[in-house]
């Protein structure tokens, strides 16, 4: 097979003249995402009172968000500001791997967080005995191994395709189908595998998350104390917000890339860029504002400074 030495990333097709200015809010959001997630990791790491299952899962989410944004944003900003459109073939494949595998791992971590909330609210007496340190590590490892194992064959299939046409990727980063479209020959196996993998993972995770919250809702409605109900709703609302913030743009970006020909290209690419930027930026803010322990710890550190 023949592989090009490099590809050309166009950025946002149709908005080339505006990309220089679009980069400023993108850079600001990237800075906030990195700062927020690193702060979250440091606060949880240094405060023993936060060494609890919920915060361990939150640390996993923060680490994944750092990988997702850092694997795309530096190159994207170099395209927008310095017109550095070229990316070598190996770098493109590596970027594709990190984007798609860690996006799926984040879905798995959101599922474990839903399971954590279910145990905390529906099985409070058994919570500490079920979610021990080794179990938490196994849940995180299972999510990572499952999704990396699913994504790896798709990446290997892309790496072994023959590329004999133009090297121009009409995207801001090396998205799976955007690269596959440049290959010669039959690419249906790549397309079918990509669709099936994403649908199975996201579909099963979202169904299990929905079931978890239906059980939680039934339990919360049955609580006799109004204060307890409000506390339970408040605890879960931030997690539900993060789930919607992740899945909505993810599904929009994934399916419109394949069947959204009627949607303008610049809108599809812009949404795909924001999907890897907005959730990582807002997740620390949502949990920081909604979680009293984290909020108080951050404020105490700032006050000491």
pLDDT confidence of residue 156: 94
pLDDT confidence of residue 305: 53
Which pair of tokens denotes residue 223?
């609580």
The CATH superfamily assigned to 6-304 is Rhodopsin 7-helix transmembrane proteins (1.20.1070.10)
pLDDT confidence of residue 235: 67
What secondary structure letter does DSSP report for 72? T
> pTM for the whole thing?
0.91
3-class DSSP state of 184: coil
DSSP bridge partners of 149: none
pLDDT confidence of residue 249: 82
Q: What is the pLDDT of residues 56-96, one digit of tens each?
A: 999 999 999 999 999 999 999 999 999 999 999 999 999 99
Q: In this structure, are residues 148 and 101 in contact, taking their beta carbons and an 8 Å threshold?
A: yes
In sequence order, the 6+-apart residues with CB closer than 8 A to the CB of 20 are: 80, 81
Best-predicted range by mean pLDDT (65-74, 183-192, 266-275): 65-74
Nearest to residue 67, comparing CAs of 271, 279, 253, 224?
A: 279
Distances (CA, A) of 125 to 49, 81, 132, 227: 19, 55, 13, 19
**Averaged pLDDT of the chain:** 88
The confidence band for 158, taking pLDDT boundaries of 50, 70 and 90, is: very high
Q: Which residue has the higher pLDDT, 16 or 24?
A: 24
The confidence band for 2, taking pLDDT boundaries of 50, 70 and 90, is: low
In sequence order, the 6+-apart residues with CB closer than 8 A to the CB of 297 are: 43, 47, 50
């Amino acid at each position: 097979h023949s592989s090009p030495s490099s590809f050309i990333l166009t950025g946002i097709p149709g908005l080339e003249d505006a990309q220089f200015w679009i980069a400023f809010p993108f850079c600001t959001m990237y800075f906030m995402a990195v700062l927020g997630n690193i702060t979250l990791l440091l606060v949880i790491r240094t405060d023993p009172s936060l060494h609890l299952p919920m915060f361990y899962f939150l640390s996993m989410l923060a680490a994944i968000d750092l990988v997702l944004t850092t694997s795309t944003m530096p190159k994207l900003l170099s395209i927008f500001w310095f017109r550095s459109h070229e990316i070598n073939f190996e770098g493109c494949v590596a970027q594709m791997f990190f984007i798609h595998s860690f996006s799926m791992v984040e879905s798995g971590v959101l599922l474990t967080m839903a399971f954590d909330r279910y145990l905390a609210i529906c099985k409070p007496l058994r919570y500490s005995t079920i979610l021990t340190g080794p179990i938490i590590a196994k849940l995180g490892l299972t999510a990572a191994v499952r999704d990396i194992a699913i994504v790896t064959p798709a990446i290997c299939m892309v790496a072994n395709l023959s590329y004999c046409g133009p090297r121009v990727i009409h995207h801001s980063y090396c998205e799976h189908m955007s690269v596959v479209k440049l290959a010669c020959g039959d690419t249906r196996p790549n397309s079918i595998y990509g669709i099936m993998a994403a649908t199975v993972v996201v579909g099963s995770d979202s169904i299990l998350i929905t079931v978890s919250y239906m059980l939680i809702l039934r339990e919360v409605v049955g609580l006799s104390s109004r204060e307890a109900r409000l506390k339970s709703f408040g605890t879960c609302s931030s997690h539900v917000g993060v789930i919607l913030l992740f899945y909505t743009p993810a599904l929009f970006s994934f399916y419109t890339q394949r069947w959204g020909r009627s949607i303008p290209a610049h809108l599809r690419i812009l949404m795909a860029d924001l999907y890897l930027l907005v959730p990582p930026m807002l997740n620390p803010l949502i949990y920081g504002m909604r979680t009293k322990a984290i909020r108080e710890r951050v404020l105490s550190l700032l006050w000491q400074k």
